[in-house]
Amino acid sequence: MQKLKTYGLIILAGWQSMFAWMTSFVLWRIGQVFSLFITFSIWDTVFTGTESAFGFSRSSIFTYLFVTNVCSIIVTSTRVQELGQSIRNGELSTQLLQPISPFLVRFSIDLGDKLMNVLFGSIEIGLIVAFFHLAILSPNLEMIGLLFLAIFGSIVLFFLINACLSMIAFWSPDIWSPRFLFFTLFQLLSGSFFPITALPQEIQRVLQFTPFPYFLHLQANIWLERITVPEIWFGIGVLAGWIALFFIVLRVIWRIGLREFGAEGR
């Protein structure tokens, strides 16, 4: 019970720090709205004068975009990159003396961040849906459990990958470039802007063994029932495999990094 209270206080502190930089927060939310507007506008133009494209109807493609954007809000809202900053400025030395794992602290902050982003993101996506007069298809309630499992898996995997990227700070001050590269690949290959099925078959076959389709594309296909239950379990299995791999990688580089840690900022 005491631990739950501690994590609750961590989440509350995360919210307070978020609103401490109100201008940055507001500008970021405005940027999110513009990004959504541009994405939906492009696809609205694509479906002008036609009923289908890339194997999607107008209602199914906009439902796809709706699901991927909601999932993106949940999955990508993270502040684990601050762990890299604490390594560079030496604050990690203080955090290591605390009885709570730095990773659990960051994950708790992430949960609070996700709750806040879901609140504001839902309003923003709702406005976009109303503006374009979109008809969003309802999911099969029998698939909700698998959908939530896939979303939770993508949250954990995204956290682990970003935590691994933060570990670069043990050896290099440049932790921004690798993160930028990963996020660029994420946006292009996760199905955020367009369905992966729009890509050539050869690329799709390669991508199915990478983490990227399982962040957003899998979840949208579960919602739309475009894949069978065995295919869903295959996707969740690949997702679990990547989670296990990055968990091991994180533990290894964390232990190696701590040996190199000099707490230069302290």
Give the pLDDT confidence score for residue 220 in this predicted structure: 95
pLDDT in tens, 107-146: 888 888 888 888 888 888 888 888 888 888 888 888 899 9
Q: Over the stretch 53-62, which tens digit does the pLDDT of each residue have? A: 888 988 999 9
In the predicted structure, residue 21 carries a pLDDT above the cut 90: no
- Any idea which residue has 């296909």 for tokens? 221
Mean pLDDT, residues 250-265:
80
What pTM does this model have?
Answer: 0.88
pLDDT band at 5 (very low <50, low <70, confident <90, very high): low
238 pLDDT band (50/70/90 cuts)? very high
Torsion on CA atoms 109, 110, 115, 118, rounded to nearest 10: 150
Q: What secondary structure does DSSP assign to 143-185, as a single string? A: GHHHHHHHHHHHHHHHHHHHHHHHGGGGT-S--HHHHHHHHHH
pLDDT of residue 245: 97
**Quick check: 266 pLDDT over 60?**
no
How do the domains of the chain map onto residue ranges?
2-260
